[in-house]
Amino acid sequence: MESPRRQPTLDEVAVLAGVSRSAASRAVNNGPHVSRSKRDAVMKAVRQLGYVPNATARALATNQAGAVVLAVANDDPALFTDPFYAQIIIGVATELDRADLDLTLMLAASAQGRDRLKRMLRSRRSDGFMVIAPAGDDWLAAVAHMTELPVVFCGRPLGAEPSWYVDADNRGGARLATEHLVALGRRRIAMIAGPMDLQATVDRHRGFTDAMAVAGLEAHRFATADFSPRGGTLAMERLLDKHPDIDGVFAASDNVAAGALRTLRSRERTVPGDVAVVGFDDLTIAAQTEPDLTTVHQPIDALGQEMAKMMVRLIAGERPSPLIVPTHLVVRGSAPAAP
């Protein structure tokens, strides 16, 4: 007796059509957000293979919105010129595009923006919700906790351990930066941290204090700043006024480090002669300062891409693990390696 012919799968349809599985599913089941060319390619593959859609899969596919929300609790125009946020958003958009998912960017700083976001999430016009580095009292963190949609964080919320997040090894990177300054013979090392209501700042401060403790050094030379050059300028001024003997600085971002360099120059402190400086991020500005900046590299574009990949897997019904991406030190002129 002849065995029954194996039915082709949706995966085979997607491969033959040259599209992602999610796009093939939406095309076969007449779902939204599929271009005409991709839909035509999928239907041609369906005919060639003799594929018959599963009724349950059809129901699931037509319930998907084909879009993901990325929310930011900030409406400052400077946000979109900040290289960190820009690279995150580009990384997310690039990866979602590969999965044929639309990206909806929502600004939730105003009451109107918050209401609009709530309506979007309640209406299920999105398949998932993504949040970038919420602060400790951030309204978005509370919204993320309440929604039934899958939620992925870029950076953990302060003091929380969500089910799904992508983050850099902030503590390990800060430890590397501080150990480098110690290896250069610096003993009166200061840290300029970011806002302490961010988990990334807390982790970088812990990395700094870890390395200082191992070296038997005091870690009391400390100031905070917003993540801007001006914030770094003002924090460096306060530190020099209180601790004029500083011979090393770890700044919790490259923008902050750029501001610190400005103050050191105005106070006639040579870098790296009098004071060695290390930043964090490895943004474009790190190669444009005078001298160029030794810094901790975190793969910012990869953070956005991995965040989107995690979301795609969640939408597909998988349960991925949180991800910590590694950091490494990039040595330049502000704290060159010892001869």
Is the domain of 185 the same as that of 271?
Answer: yes
| 158 is a domain residue | yes
| 139 is a domain residue | yes
Range of the domain at 140: 67-168+300-325
At 143 the pLDDT is 79
At 63 the pLDDT is 59
pLDDT along the chain (339 residues), means of 10: 62 89 76 78 88 54 73 69 83 86 81 80 82 72 81 86 91 98 98 93 97 97 94 98 97 96 97 98 94 96 92 86 96 92
Task: Classify strands 151-154 and 165-168 as parallel, antiparallel or unpaired.
Answer: parallel
C-alpha to C-alpha distances, 136 to 97, 183, 237, 300, nearest whole angstrom:
31, 34, 27, 22
Is the domain of 221 the same as that of 240?
Answer: yes
At 191 the three-state DSSP class reads: strand
| 19 is a domain residue | yes
| 220 is a domain residue | yes
- Judge if pTM exceeds 0.85: no
User: Crossing angle, helix 199-214 and helix 170-183, to 10 degrees?
Assistant: 40
| 337 is a domain residue | no
Is the domain of 114 the same as that of 184?
Answer: no
Q: What is the DSSP string of 4-34?
A: PPPPPPHHHHHHHHTS-HHHHHHHHTT-SS-
| 285 is a domain residue | yes
Say which CATH number the domain at 15 has.
1.10.260.40
Alpha helices in 34-138 (DSSP H): 36-49, 55-62, 83-98, 111-122
Answer positive or negative: Cα dihedral of 305, 306, 309, 311.
Answer: negative
**Dist CA 188 CA 219 (whole Å):** 9
At 279 the pLDDT is 98
Tell me how crowded residue 188 is: count the other CB atoms within 10 A of its CB.
Answer: 14
Give me the number of domains the chain comprises.
Answer: 3
DSSP state of 297: E
CB 133 within 8 A of CB 197: no
CB 131 within 8 A of CB 164: no
| 266 is a domain residue | yes
**Dist CA 163 CA 108 (whole Å):** 22
Domain end: 43, 62, 81, which one? 62
Is the domain of 214 the same as that of 233?
Answer: yes
Is the domain of 14 the same as that of 84?
Answer: no
**Dist CA 313 CA 150 (whole Å):** 10
Which one, of 110, 141, 144, lies nearest residue 126 by Cα?
Answer: 144
Place of tokens 């076969």: 28
- β strands within the chain, DSSP E: 67-72, 102-107, 128-132, 151-154, 165-168, 189-193, 222-224, 248-251, 276-281, 294-297, 323-325, 328-330
Residue 129 burial (10 A CB sphere; 0-12, 13-18, 19+): buried
Say which CATH number the domain at 265 has.
3.40.50.2300
